[in-house]
Amino acid sequence: MKQGAAGPKKGSFLRRIFPRRGDGRKEAVRKIALLVLLCIFIGSGAVLLRITILEPMEAQKENDSIRRVYHTAVSEAAPGDAASGGASAAEPAPTFENLKNINPDIVGWIRVPNTVIDYPVLQSGRDDPEYYLKRNYLKKPSSHGSIFLNAECDLKTGRNLVLYGHSMNDGQMFAALLKYTPEFYRESPVVEFDTAEKKSLWKIIAVIKTNTRPEQGKVFPFMRTEFSGDEDYRNYVYQLRIRSTVNAPVDFRAGDRLLTLSTCSYEFKDFRTVIVAREVRDGEETKVDTGKAGANPKALYPDCWYEKYGGKKPEWPETLKEAEKLGLADWAID
């Protein structure tokens, strides 16, 4: 550097950022505004880092931890995978003792083959039915929440066990339910839901897209847990089937129990993707003839669907009995 040449001034960057004595009013205002913007930028970056990287990593780590607890119990109690057809659907479940020691609100375990869905199921009391919406199985605050069972459901006697889970952008929790096209259904037509009482398999009978806001059309009550009788129950399943985007080759009778998996869907505000399965009966073959599965060209959607995507709303008989007379419900067994 030539003698007399001006070198960089020590702290010149900080001088441009922080107000100092001798600054004019305009210069002081400029620096204060710049500092405010810098703080907002740093704060936003920290929040974004937390949401997109740190929270998903934390949720993954904690869920991996409880998976090890559960699957160790499974391997020790009954080696073999029931989903492969190597075990009876009524086989006693591995002990839930270790899970109950972690949190007594753990009432089950849900697994969907070929997805990341492999989670404990929590159930809170009716006084706070959404307790686990934003809490993990350790009862710690979490944007991922937990998979939780409707507080109104009775695990032993309920006809429709309704499970809720978030659809996370990172693919965790129930996000994989959005993958259920007819093609994906052929890969995973059966889900596993175990409780402390038993292991059980459930054959998917419907995949629906539905609304929760009245302004989008009549709201279908997919969260029903109580029914007045067999006819009411069978009609409810009929309403599920005509809304299904997949024609599932699985029959149904009034004595069957349902498992409903619900998550947020993003076609419209507060939309839901709902997967409904019925329990494999004692002695029944666990496999599904997926070669007979396909898209339902007459799937019934909410009114907003047709307003946005076009098409004509299909006409279906009002009740299952009417549909049976017309030969439109060969899946229904008396």
Tokens 């009432």 -> residue: 107
pLDDT category at 43 given cuts 50, 70, 90 is confident
pTM of the model: 0.82
Query: Of 260, 261, 275, which is closest to residue 159 (Cα–Cα)?
Result: 260
**Across 153-168, average pLDDT:** 96
Considering only CA atoms, which of 62, 123, 130, 72 is closest in space to residue 97?
72
User: Rounded to whole angstroms, how far apart are CA atoms 281 and 278?
Assistant: 9
- The average pLDDT across 132-137 equals 97
What are the structural domains of the chain?
A: 49-333 (2.40.260.10)
- Taking only Cα atoms into account, the Rg of the chain, rounded to an integer number of angstroms, comes to 27
Residue 82 has pLDDT above 70, yes or no: no
Grade residue 24 by pLDDT with cuts at 50, 70 and 90: confident
The pLDDT, as a whole number, for residue 203 is 98
Residue-level pLDDT at 85: 42
Q: How far is it, in rounded angstroms, from Cα 178 to Cα 266?
A: 9
Q: How far apart are CA 181 and CA 170, in angstroms?
A: 20
Cα–Cα distance for residue pair 331/334, rounded to 1 Å: 10
Residue 94 has pLDDT above 80, yes or no: no
**Mean pLDDT calculated for residue range 289-307:** 97
CA distance 14 to 20: 10
Average pLDDT over residues 161-187: 96
Percent of the chain with pLDDT over 70: 86
CA 245 to chain centre: 17
The residues facing 184 across adjacent strands are none
Flag whether pLDDT at 190 surpasses 80.
yes
- The pairing of beta strand 201-210 with beta strand 246-247: unpaired
User: Average pLDDT for residues 91-95, to the nearest whole number?
Assistant: 55
Of 93-102, 120-129, 204-213, the one with minimum mean pLDDT is: 93-102
Q: What is the mean pLDDT of the chain?
A: 88
> What number is the average pLDDT over the span 33-59?
74
Contacts of 22 (CB under 8 A, 6+ apart): none
Which pLDDT band, with edges at 50, 70 and 90, does 12 fall under? low
Sorting pLDDT into bands at 50, 70 and 90, what band is 83? very low
**How many helical (H) and strand (E) elements, i.e. helices and strands, does the chain have?**
8, 12
Confidence of residue 13 (pLDDT cuts 50, 70, 90): low
Of all residues in the chain, what percent carry a pLDDT higher than 90?
72
Cα 39 to chain centroid distance, Å, stands at 36
Which H helix or E strand runs over 64?
helix 55-77
Map residue 48 onto helix, strand or coil. helix
Between the alpha carbon of residue 82 and those of residues 87, 118, 186, the distances in Å are: 5, 15, 18
